[in-house]
Amino acid sequence: MTGFKTVTFAKHEGVDIKLDYMLPAAATPGSKVPILLWFHGGGLLMGTRTCAWSHLVNAVEKHNLCLVTADYRLAPQTRMPGIMLDVKAVMDYLNSPDFLVETGGVVDQQKIIVSGGSAGGWLALLIATGVGFEACGLMAPPKPLAVAPLYPITDIEAHFFTSKQYPVSYVKQMIPESAVAPFLDPNAPQSSECALTSPRMKMYPYMVQEAIEQQLLLEGTSIPASAFSIAPAVAAGQCSMPPMYIVHGTIDDKVPISQSEDVVKACQARGFEVEFEVLEGVDHLFDMDPKYQLENMYAFIDKLVK
């Protein structure tokens, strides 16, 4: 992507895990800039770090941020423990002397805001709370300054992910298994990204159709899906939540708004700082449209980093 620099920050099971970063022109060692880490969505089954929407790219200069977009290995070839290892590696790298050197000493590693859309928002919440890492045999990464999930998945035990949809509302016809068979094979080569034009991009609606997210992410691990559910962990006092901005559209039929509502309710009950923006009549992936610049999210970030 224009203006980005690519870094391979880890290699897990022979697969390169990469991130892209972009720095504002004003960043200097004497005027360090916060880091906005963003994870792509796709149900942890598909997608790529290179689909950074315009509000993210514009925020680099407009809000004086170092934007980082990171890949992680995709399921089912990599199950949840491997994905969690990858996102922990991202945070460890952003907090490391190596990243400071890579960026010329201009990033403020004490000010990391973690964001992401859909499944990427889920990863952001897992990092922010530390939920799920112990179940995967990992130490949780350092806490970020804040978290800003967009229309996130937050609980794959919910009815939406456990009930078949024949057909999926936004596809309107059945997706045959043959359309995604190469990507359903857990023994196929591991991948940490896929092009937006790849047939693999049918994996998310096929997963919803067949209600197999738990199977794709966790089969063979003996880890329950509940280990990655955000709201129950918050409600039970098992974790804390840094300041959070969260946004969801009311007509989202790819990830229902109840996924966000449950987390907001649990956080409010615990007294955590939450800003919840509900967008009436707005669907999933709304921020692909350049007309959405998420001014409220960036105002939330600006307030915290100044």
- The pLDDT, as a whole number, for residue 274 is 98
pLDDT band at 55 (very low <50, low <70, confident <90, very high): very high
What does DSSP assign to residue 134?
G
Domain count, the chain: 1
d(CA 37, CA 161): 27
- The pLDDT, as a whole number, for residue 2 is 66
d(CA 53, CA 297): 14
Please choose, from the candidates 63, 46, 49, 92, the residue with its C-alpha nearest in 3D space to the C-alpha of residue 197: 46
Task: Tell me if 252 sits within 8 A of 283, measured CB to CB.
Answer: yes
178-227: pLDDT as tens digits:
999 999 999 999 999 999 999 999 999 999 999 999 999 999 999 999 99
pLDDT above 70 coverage of the chain, percent: 99
CATH code for the domain in which residue 262 is found: 3.40.50.1820
What is the rounded average pLDDT of the residues 160-171? 96
d(CA 84, CA 103): 25
Residue-wise DSSP of 25-52? TT-BTTB-EEEEEEE--STTTS--TT--
- Range of the structural domain that residue 150 is part of: 5-305
263-293: pLDDT as tens digits:
999 999 999 999 999 999 999 999 999 999 9
pLDDT surpassing 60 at residue 243: yes
Surface-to-core class of residue 215, CB atoms within 10 Å of its CB (0-12 exposed, 13-18 middle, 19+ buried): middle
Q: Determine the 3-state secondary structure of 150 from DSSP.
A: strand
